[in-house]
Amino acid sequence: MLRNLFQYYLRQPETLPTLLSAELERRYPGEKVCTYALCDLDSAQHFSEQWVIIAGKLLVTATPLTGRDTWDFRSFALTEIDSFELFDGLSSSSLQIVGEKKRLLASLHFTRRQSRALSNVQFVAEQKKKQLKDSSVSRDLADGLDPDDEYREAMLKAIEDAKSMLSMPKMGVMLRLLSYLRPHKIPVICAFGTAALLTLVLLLPPYLMRVLVDDIIRPAEQGKVDNPYRMLWLVIGALALVYAIGEFMGFIRMRVMSVVGEKICMRLREDLYRHMQKLSLSFFSSRPTGTLIARVSSDTDRLWDFITFGVIDIGMAILQIIGVAVALFFQDVSLALLVLIPLPIMAMMFYFHSIRIQVHFLRMWRKWSAMTAVLSDVIPGIRVVKAFAQEEKEVERFSEKNRAVEAEAQILHRNWTRFWPTVVMLMHTCTLIVWIVGAPRVVRYITTNGEEGMPLGVFLAFTGYMWMFWAPVQQLGMMSRVINRVTTSASRVFEVLDTTPSIVSKENAVPPPPFAGDVRFENVSFSYDGARNVLKGVNFEVKAGEMIGLVGPSGSGKTTLVNLLCRFYDVKGGRILLDGVDVRDMELSGLRRQIGVVLQEPYLFHGSIAENIAYGSHGISPRDIIEAARAANAHEFICGFRDGYETIVGERGQTLSGGERQRISIARAILHNPRILVLDEATSSVDTETERKIQEALRRLVAGRTTFAIAHRLSTLSAAKRLFVLEDGKLVEQGTHAELLEKPDGVYAKLHRTQVELQANVVV
């Protein structure tokens, strides 16, 4: 299986070539292969093959010589290597192996997919070098690992990750959509039953026409019947009855299916939204909001259309084709054969047409979502647009996408409108053939006085049936367009449903008991993209109730650190312990319920201030809300509003000032009463009075909780019990504000100096 994956996806050897390892053993006896990697680029940037191997005390590179059974070997003692220099390029990297006196030993080039295996090689080489130079270092490192497994795992990681993002759908999209009908068995069967009956009943009118002509009118013409009117009224009555039954059946089917369709779509929308809520942050950060909204709204709507009308229409059309075909044969076998001849041709035309048009639908969908993406991108940022007077530019941006939608739709329409007349022409040709063959036979029937040929009634009934035959064929053809549309929409919907959240509670994980609040990071490292490490081996321990200020230049990993604490992402290396338990072993919502977050840009939902304060807390009385607001210094200004706590704040709380919004979010956190608090302090300046009020509110909030504050304000920094200084993903300094200031060359001291200078400028 693994062997296949390698060949299938990567087209590169799945282990060190056997010839190569044999040759290695012969040349360097006793040197055991520890790890290896493939460098798939040569210095001229052509894809090629060069292996780099750590064997015993050596680093060996091997390049195949033409002829393929010999190798060009170069080897260096690990102790001879001074350093490894990695250069990450756009799509390729190079690793320079540098010896003593800056002598270049080897220069390896490779693409990103090899990076992981090469970083293994570099890691093992460095560890072994240390062991060789200093025998006190433990020797077991990397010796117990199977080099083949390591290499395989490193190579397949990216592929497996991409695959694990999807729980592979087992059924075709259509079948899967139909499976949603299952809970509604009885109404669906009922609708199908009436539809089938309707189809059968509608087969009668042409037959009645035949009876009318051949058994009543013609005999009456020839004076063969005494009282034609009795029969006549009977036939007319029968026709009326057929139509009445038909109408009633049609009504039942529509009513039942529209009800079922709506229920199914409601369920789909809900499933979809529920599933989205479960997905991890990384899912949302990689997709425009607009396309996600489109999937929940317009895509499910299209599915309704299909379930309500499409499914049964298709069933009915097929049934009608069969029924009419039987009726045609019943009327006249030779003519019926003539009508059926073009059917396979048509089926093929429809098939190829639907394949061609499917691609257009896919493109169309993508253009559509690009257009909605513009909307969901720009409308929340409308203030920026107006401030920069970019209305015209934005209109242009939208209309560009809009035009693209139109252009794509036109191509689509051109395609099917061109297809349609061809089909209709084929039908007309058939009718012509029937006339050419049938009409002379009717004439002969009359001239021979009924001895040979075809009675007029049969001919009329036949042509009637023939039109009934084309109607469902035509409908099926139209349906292929609907089906294409629907499969596109359905697969978009299922795509979301099939994405598995990357952060989930372990099976049978239990909700953690109330935390004391001890936090411990053990050698934590993390990377968002798998390439650049944002945190590199962070270690610290925080006691319950301690307040920690996180400082460091932007991009140093402060926000990442708290993201990991909340388990918005999982660590890539090391672990995070809360009260001695790994966060990954805790039930997720239980964990997050005990961690409170006050964000830099507080997000207020559409609703009243009271609702916003109570967000995330249960069983809250109005008094609780007021007390929380008081503690957050928000009570005063809230009472100043005409609607008090019932003031509705806009989608983003735009009717409030920044300081007010911040205090509401502090009140929210106070009410939430978390054991561990994350404070992402705003850099934006507010006036001194507001600042004082916010500080006061924060002090009350922080009291008694383990707090991590991403701090910028000096007042917060000096309030913190300890400061952690991060730089380039590493914890470089820690201590109190005063302690850190005493180190003149310290990172914090430097940061602080610039901060003070800046503030001095602002104050003046």
* Both tokens assigned to 548: 């920690």
Contact 22, 68 (CB under 8 A): no
Least spacing, CB of residue 241 vs other proteins, in Å:
53
> Which residues is 58 bridged to in the sheet?
55, 77
The least CB distance from residue 490 to other proteins, in Å, is: 13
In whole angstroms, how close is the CB of 749 to other proteins at the nearest point? 18
For tokens 């090689």, the residue is 121
- Strands 547-551 and 722-727, sheet pairing: parallel
Provide, rounded to whole angstroms, the least separation between the CB of residue 628 and other proteins.
Answer: 41
CB 343 within 8 A of CB 495: no
Single-letter residue type at 347: A
**Rounded to the nearest whole angstrom, what is the least distance from the CB of residue 45 to other proteins in the complex?**
5
CA distance 498 to 182: 20
Least distance in angstroms from the C-beta of 11 to other proteins = 5
CB of residue 265 to other proteins, shortest distance in Å: 22
User: Which residue number, 112 or 721, has a Cβ lying nearer to other proteins?
Assistant: 112
C-beta closer to other proteins: residue 178 or 362: 362
Q: Please state the φ and ψ torsions of residue 507, each to the nearest 5 degrees.
A: -60, 150
Q: Least Å distance between CB 495 and other proteins?
A: 6
Cα(725)–Cα(551) distance, integer angstroms: 5
> Which C-beta is closer to other proteins: that of 687 or that of 757?
757
Nearer residue to other proteins within complex by CB, 161 or 406: 161
CB 636 within 8 A of CB 663: no
Contact call for residues 521 and 538 (beta carbons, < 8 A): yes
- Compare residues 139 and 163 and give the one whose CB is closer to other proteins: 163
> Of 177 and 346, which CB lies nearer to other proteins in the complex structure?
177
Q: In 3D, which of 335, 338, 342 has the Cα closest to residue 473?
A: 342
Give me the DSSP letters along 95-106.
EEEEEGGG-EEE
Tokens (6 digits) for 712: 């910028």
Amino acid (one-letter) located at 66: T
- Inter-residue contact 34 to 143 (CB < 8 Å): yes
Helix segments in 513-634, DSSP class H: 558-565, 588-593, 609-613, 622-631
Count of Cβ atoms closer than 10 Å to residue 8 Cβ? 9
Would you say 89 or 511 has its CB closer to other proteins?
A: 89
> Would you say 112 or 592 has its CB closer to other proteins?
112
Angle at 496 between CA 494 and CA 500, to 5 degrees: 110
Least distance between other proteins and beta carbon 675 (Å):
37
> Footprint of other proteins on this chain (CB under 8 A)?
8-11, 41, 45-48, 85, 87, 89-92, 94, 96, 98, 101-104, 107, 109, 111-113, 115, 158-159, 161-163, 165-166, 168-169, 286-287, 359, 362-363, 366-367, 370, 491, 495, 498, 529-531
Q: Could you identify the residue written with the tokens 């109005």?
A: 622
Q: By C-beta, is 486 or 649 nearer to other proteins?
A: 486
User: Are residues 92 and 45 in contact, defined by beta-carbon separation less than 8 angstroms?
Assistant: yes
